[in-house]
Every structure is written in C-alpha cells, then in structure tokens.
Amino acid sequence: MAKPRESALKGELKNDLKQSLDHGSKPKADHALEEPCEDCDSLDVSFERHLRYDLSREQSQSGELFNAMARSVKEQMFDLWRKTRLADSQYETKKVSYLSLEFLLGRTLGNALLNLDLTEQCKQALKPHAVSLEELESHEHDAGLGNGGLGRLAACFLDSCASIDLAVTGYGIRYQYGMFVQKMDNGYQVEGPDLWLRDGNPWEVRMVNRIVSVPFFGSTKSYIDKDGKRNFVWQGTQDVLAVPYDMPIAGYRNGRVNTLRLWRAEASDDFDLTEFNEGDYTEAVARKNLAEQITMVLYPNDSSENGKELRLRQQFFLSSASLQDVLNQYTAKHGKDFSQFSSKHVFQLNDTHPSIAIPELMRLLLDVHGLDWDKAWDITRSVMAYTNHTLLPEALERWPVRMLQHMLPRILDIIYEINGRYLERVAHRWPGDANKLRAMSIIEEGDEPQVRMAYLAIVGSFSVNGVAALHSQLLTSTLFNDFYQMWPQLFNNKTNGVSPRRWLMHANPDLSTLITKAIGTSWQRDLTQLTSLNGLTQDKAFIKQWQQVKFDNKAKLAALVAQECEVEFDLSMLFDVQVKRIHEYKRQLLNLLHVVHLYGRILDGDVKDMVPRCVLMGGKAAPGYAMAKLIIKFANNLAHMINSDPRVKPYLRMAYLPNYNVSAMEVICPGTELSEQISTAGKEASGTGNMKFMMNGALTIGTLDGANIEIREQVGPDNFFLFGLSAEQVAQANDTQENQIFSPALLKVIALLKSGHFNLVEPGIFDPIIAAIEAPKDQWRLAADFDSYCQAQLQVANTYLDKETWQQMSIRNTAASGRFSSDVTIGQYRDDIWMAKKTANNNR
C-alpha cells in the first residue's frame, strides 16, 4: 500500500472535523466514542490492560478473555485503519462501495489474527491464562447477517478486496437479530432468536460523526424557481437517523484495513420533539419504536418474499444512508463540482435488494445538489453496477406501486420519469411494438401495478453480471434477452469465488502446513500456484500425509456430529456431505431418496461391495417454506431409523446437523470427502459451498449447473462425478415427462415411503413429499435424475475402494481450486467493471 504523506494526513483530519460539524450530531451518552490509538502497545500488553480495566469481575471467564483479546486485536488495527482511510480520502484511486443487505461474516478473531500475522503473538499472550486459542475463538458469536450464498459471498469479497489492496467499503445493515438459530423439536425445525449482540460486539465502532438522516412517507410538490427551472420538494417526511457502526476488514498482511459500515436505525430527536410539543408523548414513543424496527431483524428468506413493507424500508434505508455517506465524502473534497464523481466512485449492487439506490441517487443529485436530469442520469448510470444471483422468475423482486407511492413518493416520481424516458428508447428500437413496451416496462401493469426491480437495475447500470458462466449465459439468452438485444455491452460474467484465507488457511491449518511444506509459500498470495500439487500425485509419502490430514479433519467433524447430533460417525467410512439452505431446486430430496435406496438395499441384504458411508446433511429452511421444513423432518426421521437399526450401522449412518452456519462450515468442509452439488441443472446460479469443499480436497458429485461446470473443467472430468440432465434438457419440458416411467429402484423407494416406514407414529405426514416425487410435471426432475444419480454414487463407491486413487483425485481437486479464490474474482471485478474506462455510449 502506498504510504500516506504527512500533509495528506493533516488534510483529512481537517475534513473529519468539518464533517462532524456539518452533520452535527452529538455523541450518545450510552456509547463511548472510541479513539484510534496512536502508539499501540504490543498485543500481550494491550490484552492485559483490557483484562484489567474493561472487566468488572475478579476472575476472568473465557468469554471475557475473548472480549479482551478482540478489543486488543482491534486496537492493533486502529493505526492501519486510520492510515487506510486517510490515504483513500485523497482519491488517488476510485472508491468502490459494495451495497448489500447481507454480510455473512461469521467469526472475526481467527481471520483477523491470520491476516495481521498475529496468531503466534496471540497464543503467547494467552499462555499465562491457561486457555487455548481454539477455546477462546469458540466464545465469539457468529455475525450471521445473511441467509446463505449471497451474504457469504459479500463477506469473502470484502476479505479479497482488502487483500488485493482495493479501496472498497462494504455498506450493510446492523441487524439486531441476524439469521435465526435453528433448533430441532421431534425432527421439526424450530426458529429461535439470534442474540449475537447480547454480550456486545467488540469489533464495531459507533461513528457518531457520520450520522445521516433518511426520509420516509410525506408527499411531493413541485414549483418553478426564479430561473424558470422546475424543482421538487419531498415534504412532511418522517426522518430516521442512520447511525454507522464500522467494522475493520484487514487485508492479508499488506497494511490495508478497509471498512464494513453497518447502519443502525434510530429515531431522530427532531421528530420526537414535534410530537412532544403537540402533547402526544406516547405516540412519539411508539413511532420511535417504528423507526428502530427498521434494523431489528434480517429477513430469513433466501429467495424473495414479495411485498413486505418493512423489507422495502430496510432497502431504502441502506441505500439512502450509504449514498449520502459517499456524497458527503465526495463533496468534502470536491465541493459541488460533480464532474469527477463517476471517475471517483462506483457502486456494486448485490442483487436487486439495494437497487432502490438508483432512483435515490437521482433524487440526491437533483433535489439536494441541484443537478439537472441529464447530468444526474449520466452520472447515475455510469456509477451503478448490478449483480444478479438468480434465474428463478419467482425470486425476482417486485414492489407494489401503491406501497412506493405511500412510503417513498418522490422516489416513485423518479422511477416513472426514468421509465418514460427509457421506454422511448425501446419504442425507437422496436417501432410500433406495444407488446415489447409492455414486456420491458419497469412498471408491470395489472390490478396491482408493480415496479420490477431487476429491470430498474438494468436500466440504471453500466454493468450487469451473472455469477457463473452458465448463469450469465442463461441471463442473456432467457430472462434478460430483450435487454441483451438492446444493450449487449452491458452484460458480463463474474464467476464467484471464496476466500482462501478463511476457507483454507484458517479452516484447515494442517492441510495448509502440508501444502507449504510441499510447494513453498507462494500459494498463500496466489492460490493458482496450487497447481504445483499436481506434481506430487505420484509421491507416495505425500499421499499418505494428505490422507492423514483428511483423517484428522474427519475426526474433528465426527466430534462435532457426536456433540450436536449424538450420532457416531466411523472414521473409516466415506464422509458424504450436503450442507446449504433447504430448497426444492437444491434437491436435498434426491440425496435422501438415494439414502433410502441404500437403506432398502441393506435391509434386503444386498450389501456385497457396498462402501460404508456417513451421510451428513444440514441447512435452514425459510420459516414460511412448508415443503423445505418437511424435507428437514423427513431427513431427521430417516436418520433416526438408520441409526437405531444395528443391521444398518456397519454400512450407513446419517445425521442432520442443526443450526448450520459459517463456523460449522469451517469444521465441515475440511472433513468432507464427497461434496453433494446436485441442483436441477439451470437453477443454481453458481454455488460457493462447492468451491469450499473442492479447495479442501473433497470430490464432487454434481450436475452440470452453476459453477460446477467450471469446477469440472478445471479439475478434469475424470476427477468429478457427473450425473443428470443438462440445463437445456431440463428446459425442454416435454410430453414424455407427463407419463414418467419410474425405474424399479425408484419404485422400491417410493413403496418404502408409502408404507409409512419412516413415519410410523405420524401417519400421512410425508404425503406431500411422495406427491412431489410422483408429480407428472415435477419441475425439479427428481425422478428423471434418480437413476443417473444412483449410478454416479456407485462410481463414487467404487472409486473410494481404491484409497490411493481417491487421495490422488483429492489432491487434484485442491490443486485445481485456485481459480475459485475470490481474489481472482475480485481482480476481474476490478479490471472489467470497477476501474474500466467507459466508452461513450450514445444509445442509452
């Protein structure tokens, strides 16, 4: 990182002060304003000081030790953090804002120690306290501010942005309750609150000098000013304060510490006072609650749940606060001259969730900063970039026009104006084609007109990307084909990746050590160097060590399963794992049908050459998704039948891991041998769990879907267990599907289900599952892929019989995983989207 100059430092300090005056909010009494340290103590000194002065009790408990250590590590970051901020505020490079409703960070301590190279110092500091680092780490609550893939991707991206030295700020919401805690009651999922903030969050800093105010409700009015220009005012609004809480994101040993800025909603004092003066004190207090509700809870759906008003409020709150924050930084340096804005800023929208930022940026430029429409639109569509994460049409976000009219009237005006101007372009491109206009309009007509957020995002962005090659190709050929025809240059692919720091170095230290001993350290900064491992696939000693590491990791996973599920996993058996959100398209059911098939074979005594396996499944269901919840119940009942039958024990064990989360995955992926990536082809945009498993030497059984295709390309078809229909075949819903012919094996499975064998005391509960399998037009193609899947599983078993071959394939998987480092992905975002010089584009 470039060293900031002294004069630059002083300049920024002045700006800081000025900003705190401009936005003049006073610190709240219940939160101390934390100052960055000037001259840091070493980690152990700092740790002892925190233990001594922060804690109330004489005897420190492990949880308090964790807290003191986290504060000390944060302290170590403060100087670098401030220097990074100061350097970036000089605007020598473009600033990227990553807007996301979700950041699924998991724990921070281990990752921060690794990136700052403080792990050894930390262990030393702990010595006098007779507590291991591992024990200490276990006391940190996961920051579960996301549902699954999309949220974890945002967290991996932050790690990579800092590690490849990019000035990127993450903007999100500080939910008071993150992803719900999943418990099991008689095999059913029960949701509990996630109290992640109960013991405080030692990593965050409340930034009272950066508070902004976000308007809601009210009405709009226009007037002509003295220059004859039409101006708009959004009046009578109810304003909510957005208070930033910053989390440090340290790069990998490079001196950069970026920021994740999470907004918390608080009632504005002004608003309370008015009410108070009118004598309506209780109303005012109630409304205060309403304001603070905005950031209370994360919506636990990983496909969109349409029409929830509070969700829209969250989206606008995040978008408006983040844009105002960026505009404040820009104007502090450049004043009212916006000519440089689009060369200094870019916003990456993580799906359509923050896409209301497009009309909101227009509003801020028009109404607050006085730009005219053309200038404002020019800026807006050269700073916004949109990432799509789904092809499922039911998951595309739509908001009722009526809701926007009520909650965000000025924003709706602007959306109409954007749409009117854009539809003129459409009419120009397809003259006289009213159907095209209707199909492409941002406003969907009907009884309840809706705003199509994906269309708004496309129209307002200079880049639209999918998250794996197949997905991006399907976006342009199907879902967004009309837009692709009009603006082909907008569309691009950015195949997802995962952080090698968290998912290899931190999660699997033993494998990391072995790799470094074998090929040196270069892979630690450039994961594509792992290909050197291919030179070792004939090295018997290395293969043995590789196998030993996997064995030890299996033991750790088995310990987790024993503790959480009370199921004993035998380390000599194949560890076969599917963990992810529960969704019909991900086809956990297909996996379960195969387990039933194996179980049936065992009961029939058909066990010759059967390879013993332990099947692990885990994941949360959206609380309102009945079928997903039933699949969990089925998995639990199946596991119970299997594990309680001594005839079955030598061949098959099964466990359902409750409350699957980031920390669980850190134990699961190093200990997994077979990774299940079995979605219906064309439905999983990318997948990222598939990459974590591959990196840790698991072999994949999978369909030609999402990033599986690229994984298979990288590792070679001989090192991947492929099955199932292609996306093209799935899309051709044909008549033969009407009268599906079930194979004898599947008929047997269905018969066993219908006999009630897995629900002896709960008659009929699995009828919807049986109906789903037998459905003539099953869109998930369970029956169609069942035989092919069983075939591939047989191949898996046969391969596993040859231990050495399996280990060689495992090595090749890790060796080929470098391409799926999020550093590679972020390098592409940087080169193709964020830093790209835009060419003049007259047809927009």
Using CB under 6 A, count the residues that bind ligand 26Q.
Answer: 23
Distance (Å, whole) CA 128 – CA 489: 61
User: Considering only 143-151, 473-481, 515-523, 592-600, which stretch makes contact with ligand 26Q by CB under 6 A?
Assistant: 143-151
Cβ count near 765 (within 10 Å): 17
At 567 the three-state DSSP class reads coil
Distance (Å, whole) CA 782 – CA 746: 10
- Give 792: exposed, middle or buried? Use CB within 10 Å, 0-12, 13-18, 19+: buried
Interface residue with ligand 26Q, options 153, 615, 630, 783 (CB under 6 A): 153
| Residue placing its CB nearer to ligand 26Q in the complex, 238 or 301 | 301
Q: Rule CB under 6 A: which of 470-509 touch ligand 26Q?
A: 496
- β-pair partners for 54: none
Pairing of strands 230-235, 384-387: unpaired
User: Considering only 24-32, 70-78, 148-156, 451-459, which stretch makes contact with ligand 26Q by CB under 6 A?
Assistant: 148-156
Distance (Å, whole) CA 275 – CA 291: 14
Q: How far is the CB of 467 from ligand 26Q (least distance, A)?
A: 4
Catalytic (active site) residue 777? no
Distance (Å, whole) CA 100 – CA 145: 10
User: Considering only 179-187, 476-484, 651-659, 684-692, which stretch makes contact with ligand 26Q by CB under 6 A?
Assistant: 684-692
Choosing from 410, 502, 554, 580, the catalytic residue is 580
Q: How far is CA 611 from the centre of its chain?
A: 35
| 139 is a site residue for ligand 26Q (CB under 6 A) | no
| 688 is a site residue for ligand 26Q (CB under 6 A) | yes
What are the DSSP calls for 198-261, one per residue?
TT--TT-EE-GGG-EEEEES-EEEEEE-TTS-EEEEEESPEEEEEEEEEEEEE-SSSS-EEEEE
| Residue placing its CB nearer to ligand 26Q in the complex, 622 or 773 | 622
Q: How far is the CB of 553 from ligand 26Q (least distance, A)?
A: 24
| Residue placing its CB nearer to ligand 26Q in the complex, 187 or 497 | 497
Choosing from 95, 389, 436, 550, the catalytic residue is 389
At 526 the three-state DSSP class reads coil
Q: How far is the CB of 389 from ligand 26Q (least distance, A)?
A: 4
| Residue placing its CB nearer to ligand 26Q in the complex, 36 or 307 | 307
Q: How far is the CB of 135 from ligand 26Q (least distance, A)?
A: 32
Catalytic (active site) residue 688? yes
| Residue placing its CB nearer to ligand 26Q in the complex, 467 or 701 | 467
Taking a C-beta distance cutoff of 8 angstroms, is the pair 322, 261 a contact? yes
Catalytic (active site) residue 226? no
Distance (Å, whole) CA 568 – CA 256: 44
| 684 is a site residue for ligand 26Q (CB under 6 A) | yes
Catalytic (active site) residue 692? yes
| 143 is a site residue for ligand 26Q (CB under 6 A) | no
Catalytic (active site) residue 389? yes
Interface residue with ligand 26Q, options 256, 288, 311, 363 (CB under 6 A): 311
User: Considering only 24-32, 131-139, 570-578, 678-686, which stretch makes contact with ligand 26Q by CB under 6 A?
Assistant: 678-686
Q: Rule CB under 6 A: which of 342-401 touch ligand 26Q?
A: 389-390, 397
| 72 is a site residue for ligand 26Q (CB under 6 A) | no
Phi, psi of 43 (to 5 degrees): -55, -45
| Residue placing its CB nearer to ligand 26Q in the complex, 508 or 825 | 825
Q: Rule CB under 6 A: which of 285-304 touch ligand 26Q?
A: 299, 301-304
Taking a C-beta distance cutoff of 8 angstroms, is the pair 56, 129 a contact? no
- Give 561: exposed, middle or buried? Use CB within 10 Å, 0-12, 13-18, 19+: buried
Q: Rule CB under 6 A: which of 435-474 touch ligand 26Q?
A: 467
The total number of residues written for the chain in this structure: 844
| 706 is a site residue for ligand 26Q (CB under 6 A) | yes
User: Considering only 32-40, 147-155, 162-170, 781-789, which stretch makes contact with ligand 26Q by CB under 6 A?
Assistant: 147-155
**Which residue is associated with the tokens 């700092």?**
46
C-alpha dihedral over 374, 379, 382, 383, to 10 degrees?
A: -150
Q: How far is the CB of 665 from ligand 26Q (least distance, A)?
A: 14
Distance (Å, whole) CA 295 – CA 177: 9
Catalytic (active site) residue 580? yes
Phi, psi of 349 (to 5 degrees): -95, 115
Beta-carbon contacts of 578 under 8 Å, excluding residues fewer than 6 positions away, are: 588, 591, 616, 617, 618, 619, 675, 676, 678
Distance (Å, whole) CA 709 – CA 686: 9
| 64 is a site residue for ligand 26Q (CB under 6 A) | no
* Catalytic residue IDs: 389, 580-581, 586, 688, 692
Can you give the binding site for ligand 26Q, defined by CB under 6 A? 147-150, 153, 299, 301-305, 311, 389-390, 397, 467, 496, 684-688, 706
